[in-house]
Structure 1
Amino acid sequence: MSAVLLFLVALGFVSIVAEDLVHIDKAKTTLFFGSLVWVLHFIFPPSGETSDALMMALDENLLDIASLWLFLMAAMTLVAYLSHKGVIDGIVNALLPERMSERKLMLLTGLFAFCFSSMADNITATLVCIAVLMNLRLPREKMLRYVVLVVFSVNAGGTALITGDVTTLMIFLADKVEIPDLMLLSLPAFMAVAVLSLLLSRGLSGELVMEKRHTEVANGDKAVAVLFFCTILGTIFGNVFFGIPPVLTFLFGLSLMFMVVQFLNRDEPTLDYIRKIEFDTLLFFLGVLLLVGMLKEQGVLAYFPKLYDVMPPLAANYVMGLVSSLFDNVPLTAALLNSGINMTLDQWLTLTYAVGVGGSLLVIGSAAGVVAMSKVDGLTFGSYLKFSGYLLVAYTAGFFGVLAVGSLL
């Protein structure tokens, strides 16, 4: 039965790749295969597995999914409100000059996504960056280049901070690295972003002319924008000092938005903005996480630590980054930490970078990629894969940059 379940999981992931060929929305196929494997897991449980143990495993998986769902719902609703009210358009008009080369925009996009994801979570950073790019009304092919850079940059931006990436926090809590050591990762991580921006700029020689539209933003909407920024800061500090889950802080921020708008403009149908978010994105996340949860139940991730028995640690760490583009990097990192592998400080730093940035190599390898795929027309598994060569070069450049920084330590 394990072989059947793994085969169905593989079909689920293949359905994402084949979306352009079969013309069936990936949200439908992943939800179908994700729920099917768990139904079969209950009907044909492993020998000796009790129903309580099965239920506990499912509850654990659903808890992770529910947390991500609610977080996405809150973040997407806040961004939808600010976008509809012209706040994001106003920021674009204020910050960007009337004329700018496409190459300069590429570098600024990477820098903004990298820095913003260091303050916010990857999903929020991706939503805001894509909202800004959409306001520029770029041609489709060029838009894809900028979005690919955003996905890579937001994943790289949080690598050096324990608040920026869960896997970085896990490795820190396991006493493998210290915060001053982690901070040095920002240099090679940004170098990787700069390399990718240069590669993606190839062939871009045009100049963008911004349409400066005067956008009148009401004081109440400015208050919501400030509230959104405070929610991001509150998420970071609340999690660091009090252990408050990010989903709880964002739900509180969303509720404050409802109350603020209610008192400032009683006729504003704020709950309607929840209906504006893309629920196909949420269903896609649900299906993917159900599939990943089944891989975890089948013990697939437990095989990866054995790679360190046949390969040098640095080479194995590089491969783990590639693997994290197919598997959730959180259980993958947990499996490596629980295996008891011994590595030096510079080797742990390369692993931290690899599992944090490696998910960018495939569009389904990170939450940022999945969100981008649901928001941008034309961004599919296949169209993202066309840039895999550039992504691999940038990932490798950053990896060797981490090696250079680690040698100094």
Structure 2
Amino acid sequence: MSTVLLILVALGFLSIVVEDMVHIDKAKTTLFFGSLAWLLYFIAPPAHLSHDILMERLDENLLDIATLWLFLMAAMTFVAYLSGKGIIDSIVNRLLPTRISERKLMLLTGLFAFLFSSLADNITATLVCIAVLTNLKLPAEKLLRYVVLVVFSVNAGGTALITGDVTTLMIFLADKVEIPDLLLLSLPAAGAVAVLAGMLSLGLSGEVQIQKQETVIDRGDKVIAILFFATILGTIGANVAFGIPPVLCFLFGLSLMFLVVQFLNKDEPVLEYIRKIEFDTLLFFLGVLLLVGMLKELGMLAYFPALYDVMPPVAANFLVGIASALFDNVPLTAALLNSGIDMTLPEWLSLTYSVGVGGSLLIIGSAAGVIAMSKVEVLTFVSYLRYFLYLLVAYSVGFVAVLGLGQLLVM
């Protein structure tokens, strides 16, 4: 049965790859294979697991999925409101000149995504960045390059902060690295983003003309925009100070948004913005997480600690980062931490970087990639894969820079 389940998981991921050829929405196929795998897991459980254990494992996976779903729903509703009210257009008008070179725009995109994801979570940063880019009305092929950079940059941006990436927090709580060491990780991570931006800029020589439009934003909408950023900052603060899960803070912020709109503009059908969410995005997210959860239950992550027995830790960390493009980096990191691997500070820092950034190598390797693929029509598994070598070079440059930084710290 384990073999059958692995085949189903493989078919689920394959359905994403061949979406353009079979013309079947990836949200439908991933949900089908993911739910079918879990059904068979209950009908004929590997190792004859008891029903109680099966329920416990299902509940654990569903809790993770529900948490991400609710968080994504709240963040997407906020962004849908801000976009619908023209607030994002207004920000673009204020921040960008009437004309800007495509290369300069590429660098600014990478910098904005990197910095914003350091303040917000990857999902929110991706949604906002994509909303800004789509408002620029770029040609499809050029838009693809910018979105590829966004996916890589938002993953790199949170690597150096315990609030920016769960795996960074896990390694910190295991006393493998200190906060000052982690903060320095932002330098090689930003360097990797700059390298990728430079490569993606090759062949771009034109200019982007931004059509400035006067957008009248009323007082209530300005309050909502402030509330959105206050929710982001409050989420970070509440998580650090009290350990409150981000989803609770965002749901609270969303409820405040509903009440503020109700009192400031009683005729506004604010709940309609929930209906404007592309639910195929949520269904695709659900299907992918069911597939990844099944890989975890089948014990595929248990093989990765064995890498450290057959190769140097640095090489193993590099490969683990690449593997995180297929496997959820949270259980992967947990498996490595629980294995009792002994590494030096530079090696732990390289692992922190690799599991945080490595998921960018494939579009399905991170929440940012999954969201981007659902929101941008031109972005598919295959179209993103065309930039794999660029992404691998940028990832590798950052990895080497982390090793050099780690050596300086132990001198």
Write the distance in 1 (CA, Å) between the matches of 2:378 and 2:76. 20
Q: Which runs of 4+ in 1 moved over 2 A?
A: none
Write the distance in 2 (CA, Å) between the matches of 1:211 and 1:282. 32
Q: TM-score, normalised by structure 2?
A: 0.99
Name 2:114's counterpart in structure 1: 114
Aligned pairs, number = 409
1:283-329 CA distance string (max 9 Å, x none)? 11111111111111111100111011111000000001100001100
1:360-381 CA distance string (max 9 Å, x none)? 0000000000100011111000
Write the distance in 2 (CA, Å) between the matches of 1:97 and 1:13. 41
Write the distance in 1 (CA, Å) between the matches of 2:88 and 2:193. 24
**Structure 1 residue 344: Cα displacement:** 0.2
Name 1:184's counterpart in structure 2: 184
Name 1:273's counterpart in structure 2: 273
**Structure 1 residue 22: Cα displacement:** 1.0
Write the distance in 1 (CA, Å) between the matches of 2:188 and 2:339. 28
Write the distance in 2 (CA, Å) between the matches of 1:291 and 1:107. 35
Write the distance in 2 (CA, Å) between the matches of 1:286 and 1:129. 23
Name 1:240's counterpart in structure 2: 240
**Structure 1 residue 47: Cα displacement:** 3.5
**Structure 1 residue 209: Cα displacement:** 1.6
Write the distance in 1 (CA, Å) between the matches of 2:47 and 2:407. 49
- Paired amino acid for 1:274: I
Name 1:282's counterpart in structure 2: 282
Name 1:326's counterpart in structure 2: 326
Write the distance in 2 (CA, Å) between the matches of 1:113 and 1:81. 20
> What secondary structure is seen at the aligned counterpart in 1 of 2:97?
coil
Write the distance in 2 (CA, Å) between the matches of 1:179 and 1:11. 41
> What secondary structure is seen at the aligned counterpart in 2 of 1:270?
coil
Name 2:213's counterpart in structure 1: 213
**Structure 1 residue 212: Cα displacement:** 1.1
**Structure 1 residue 99: Cα displacement:** 1.3
- Give me the CA root mean square deviation: 0.6
**Structure 1 residue 208: Cα displacement:** 1.4
Matched, 1:42 2:45: no
1:10-60 CA distance string (max 9 Å, x none)? 111111111111111111111001000111011112344111110000000
- Paired amino acid for 1:159: T
Name 1:94's counterpart in structure 2: 94
Matched, 1:134 2:134: yes
Write the distance in 1 (CA, Å) between the matches of 2:131 and 2:281. 16
Name 2:374's counterpart in structure 1: 374
Q: Identity, % of aligned pairs?
A: 78
- Paired amino acid for 1:6: L
Name 1:358's counterpart in structure 2: 358
Write the distance in 2 (CA, Å) between the matches of 1:197 and 1:246. 30
Structure 1: any 5+ residue segments left out of the alignment? none
- Paired amino acid for 2:304: F
Name 1:154's counterpart in structure 2: 154
Write the distance in 2 (CA, Å) between the matches of 1:135 and 1:45. 49
Name 1:345's counterpart in structure 2: 345
1:76-118 CA distance string (max 9 Å, x none)? 0000000000000000001101111000000000000000000
Name 1:67's counterpart in structure 2: 67
Matched, 1:226 2:220: no
Q: TM-score, normalised by structure 1?
A: 0.99
1:137-188 CA distance string (max 9 Å, x none)? 1000000000000000000000000000000000000000000000110000
